[in-house]
Amino acid sequence: MTLNSWRAAAGISALAVLVCISGVAAAADKDLAARVDRVLADTPLIDGHNDLPWEIRDRYAGAVGAVDLKSDLSRLAGPKGEAPLMTDIPRLRAGRVGGQFWSVWVPSNLNGFEAVQTTLEQIDLVRRMTARYGTDLEMAYSAADVRRIHHSGKIASLIGIEGGHQINNSLAVLRQMYDAGARYMTLTHSSNTLWADSATDAPAHHGLTPFGVEVVHEMNRIGMLVDLSHVAPETMTAALAATAAPVIYSHSSARALVDHPRNVPDDILHLVAANGGVVMVNFFPAYISNDWDQWDADRTAEKARYSTPPFGGLYIGQPERAAAALAAWDLAHPKPWGTLAQVADHIEHIRNVAGIDHVGLGSDFDGIPEGPAGLEGVDKYPALLEELMRRGWTDADIAKLAGGNVLRVMAATEAVAAKLRGTRPASEAINPPAARP
């Protein structure tokens, strides 16, 4: 054989090997996809947190008919140039979503009666949205509802309140929110309430006040899930000590991997396991990528250096120069992207520390500016499950992560409420109204 003939034969052999490897990989991927399909046919994939309702309010003044959720919206910018939505029905279907907790968040700077009214308007928006797309969505209020709706081929719509400020320090309002359909409440959002400390505010109570403990007890009594995303570690500890039911974290990740205050420390993960709760992992790059978190902090500081109203900043009163300087910084410091693999790392860490029964999915889609590469929208959940299967997760493990764990927590919370049904409802408010003469 001549040298050229040998090289040609070697090249053909190498190509054949590459084709063979590619074929094996494609067959393996097809097998993983089939496994995901089998798991999600029986167990609904339940996401703990999606902010689409606020995006509809903010972009379209709450008009659920102003945007067609039956269309693929992945390339449609908002009316003010906002990034495309991360959620629509075709992508929910592609993502094999079986149940979605829709957040009825309102900003932390809304307080008092305005916060209550806006929350009720957001609950109404979810119910109107679900009714409008009734061939695909159906309201759910219990674990049994979610399973029934999933088996019917629809997506269960559930409601979560994202901040204790939304009840205006009133247990009566809390009860009315439950009656209106809310099935979890996050004890705080980004700021403290008068009765609980937030993870992203200066400590005021070092956990829960006595009234905060009463809020947790009343949530147990009526059957509302206690959500500890957004709260400070001391608040987590106090709530876990106070609750008679398992807790959830609707959208939080592992602090041991990314030291962000929105994530859950390992010592708390052990308490969650003892409580029977579930941590539903957030997809926001700031919470799952150290590089992204550091880049974002550096960029925020750089932006402030150029223009810090009313007195500071290199280019105060010169917005064009400030914008140009920030653009130059961006060019010199490209944004590092979070990845699907990093989300899988957080899921695995929580499983390793707390156990397979205590981890779930809480994307925060449409409440975050971007998802990690590979998890840009609600159609991407199967890719995440396939990644975990490649890491050795069994079908039973995937079923627990996808929805089995949160369904167990919901059922346990309902059972606690059934036991407490005969107890007297709490009537205390943090600032009770003055008695009338």
Going by C-beta distance under 8 Å and a sequence separation of 6 or more, which residues neighbour residue 333? Answer: 295, 298, 299
**Residues contacting 378, CB < 8 A, separation 6+:** 47, 50, 86, 87, 88, 91, 92, 95, 97, 363, 365
pLDDT attached to residue 65? 93
Based on the number of CB atoms within 10 Å of its own CB, is 246 exposed (0-12), middle (13-18) or buried (19 or more)? buried
- pLDDT tens for each residue of 107-131: 999 999 999 999 999 999 999 999 9
The runs of H, that is alpha helices, within 101-170 are 112-132, 143-151
Residues recognised as catalytic:
49, 51, 162, 189, 230, 251, 364
| Radius of gyration of the chain, Cα coordinates, nearest whole angstrom | 24
- Rounded to whole angstroms, the Cα distance separating 359 from 48 reads 11
> What single-letter amino acid sits at 216?
V
Tens-place pLDDT, residues 210-241: 999 999 999 999 999 999 999 999 999 999 99
Confidence bin at 323 (pLDDT 50/70/90): confident
Band of residue 39 on the pLDDT scale cut at 50, 70, 90: very high
Q: Are the C-beta atoms of 115 and 174 separated by less than 8 Å?
A: no
Q: At what angle do helices 381-390 and 340-354 cross, to 10 degrees?
A: 60
pTM: 0.90
Average pLDDT over residues 380-392: 98
Q: Which two tokens stand for residue 303?
A: 């932006």
Give the count of beta carbons closer than 10 Å to the beta carbon of residue 190.
16
DSSP 102: E
Residue 97, phi-psi category: left (phi > 0), alpha (psi -120 to 50), beta (remainder): beta
Instruction: Tell me the C-alpha distance between 308 and 322, whole Å.
Output: 10
Residues in Cβ contact with 277 at an 8 Å cutoff, skipping those fewer than 6 apart: 240, 246, 247, 248, 249, 358, 409
Judge: domain 44-285+338-420, CATH 3.40.50.10090: no
| For range 172-187, the mean pLDDT | 97
**DSSP letter (8 states) at residue 355:** -
Amino acid 316: pLDDT: 84
**Among the listed residues 160, 48, 57, the one whose alpha carbon sits nearest the alpha carbon of residue 104:** 160
What confidence score (pLDDT) does residue 18 get?
A: 45
Cα–Cα nearest to 97, from 58, 138, 62, 141 = 138
The 10 Å Cβ neighbour count of residue 315 is 16
Token pair in block for residue 159: 């409601």
Domain ranges of the chain: 44-285+338-420, 290-336
Q: Single out the residue of 48, 16, 17 nearest to residue 280, CA to CA.
A: 48
